[in-house]
Amino acid sequence: MQRTVWYLAAAGVSGALLVTIDASARTTPRQPPAPRRPAAAAAAAGGFAGSEACRKCHAPTYERWKRTRMANVVRDPRTHPDAIIPDLSAPNPLVTFKAGDIALVYGSKWKQRYFTRIGDDYYAFPAQWDVAHRQWRPYFAAAGTDWWTAHYPPDNMKRPTGPLCDGCHSVNYDIATKQVTEWNVGCEKCHGPGAAHVAAPARTNIVNPARLDTVRANDTCIQCHSQGQPLTNPIRGQYYDWPVGFHQGLDLKAFWKLEDHTLGQTTFTHYADGTAHKNRMQGNDFVTSLMYARGVTCFSCHDVHGTANNADLIKPASVVCLTCHGPASPNGPHAATIEQHTHHRAGSPGSECVSCHMPKIEQEMGDVMVRSHTFRFVPPSVSETSKVPNACVACHTDKTNAWAATALASWPEFSPWRVGQ
């Protein structure tokens, strides 16, 4: 039996779609049809073209993007000798390699790691540079830390970066040939395969994340900014730590699951209250936020093509929240003035939204932390029970959780049932 059903497609994508459903095959025609997949069509028509191919027609975007960190996370020291931050000639027992042994340099903001090439794979040397403290630290994932340590020998030179890293630092890493279209976060990592679009530019043969539904829009970033595992592992005998087979235009959840967490447990990836514990978990955090549920996306705050602000923010961290928030906004905070909400002088660090709602508590390395993206305020009382750091004592380093809890309890705007107990 056939039934004809009209579905309204996502706003802005197109008008309405007329689809025919075979009701004998599917009794509950509740699932909307798969959205048109311009990227899949593009893949069939020629696949990936490389960012350089976009330059001709999108020159201003290309030039901005080219200077971002995402466009420069992986560099070859033969073409970019300046990529190596530390002085490798200064003796250090951790540093067992010379500049000439380095095939690729990874990272520049928080930490830098160094890869050597053996056969057709890359391997990370067991030392990393801590950018903030200007010092070497060992680099080795110990047993019982990351999930994959159980599947690899305890030796960096037996842990190839292909399965463990490269899918997130390149475009179109091919697990069979170990080749990439390009290193770094190129245009097509977020826009899908672009060869057909390059040949005949149209809006229908390239993905624009701004016109995807909110889940898929955020998946543009979550494909890399998350801790998770492929749905099936091992793949061809090896354990992968990135969403093998996914590219923009496909459905991330068919390839990738976010790391599980049981409330009450402190793990490698999570604090006991469910906040991320590690870096690269902006996606794990953000999906728990009310903002995610309301359709806010990573790119509501970040312009990944590059801006003058830290972390490619559309406005500096001190004011970006005020794009949508303020005392008069239905989005909150629900107080007469910002000061009344924050109890700190307007314009001072203690009054910045990010200070309390995005504390730096997620570990890159050692004591180098990045900001949480749950946007939840962690009450000092929860710090006591769950060992998750809170913003108050992270800034008031000479004070205790009990001091912060008492101060907070005296601020009448906040519910004692949420923050006081």
Q: Rounded to the nearest whole angstrom, what is the least distance from the CB of residue 53 to ligand HEC in the complex?
A: 5
Q: Residue 157 in contact with residue 118, Cβ under 8 Å?
A: yes
**Which position's Cβ is nearest ligand HEC?**
332
Residue 17 or 315: the one with the smaller Cβ distance to ligand HEC is 315
Residue 33 or 333: the one with the smaller Cβ distance to ligand HEC is 333
Residue 36 or 211: the one with the smaller Cβ distance to ligand HEC is 211
Q: What are the CA-CA distances from residue 34 to residues 23, 40, 214 (Å)?
A: 16, 12, 15
Residue 29 or 280: the one with the smaller Cβ distance to ligand HEC is 280
Q: Rounded to the nearest whole angstrom, what is the least distance from the CB of residue 21 to ligand HEC in the complex?
A: 28
Q: What is the 3-state secondary structure (H, E, C) of 42-72?
A: HHHCCCCCCCHHHHCCCHHHHHHHHCCCHHH
Q: Cβ atoms within 10 A of the Cβ of 85, count? A: 14
Q: Rounded to the nearest whole angstrom, what is the least distance from the CB of residue 280 to ligand HEC in the complex?
A: 4
Q: Rounded to the nearest whole angstrom, what is the least distance from the CB of residue 246 to ligand HEC in the complex?
A: 10
Residue 22 or 63: the one with the smaller Cβ distance to ligand HEC is 63
Radius of gyration, alpha carbons of the chain: 24
Residue (of 295, 256, 255, 288) closest to 270 by Cα position: 288
Amino acid code (one letter) for 261: H
d(CA 270, CA 281): 9
d(CA 52, CA 399): 53
Q: Residue 305 in contact with residue 55, Cβ under 8 Å?
A: no
Residue 16 or 202: the one with the smaller Cβ distance to ligand HEC is 202
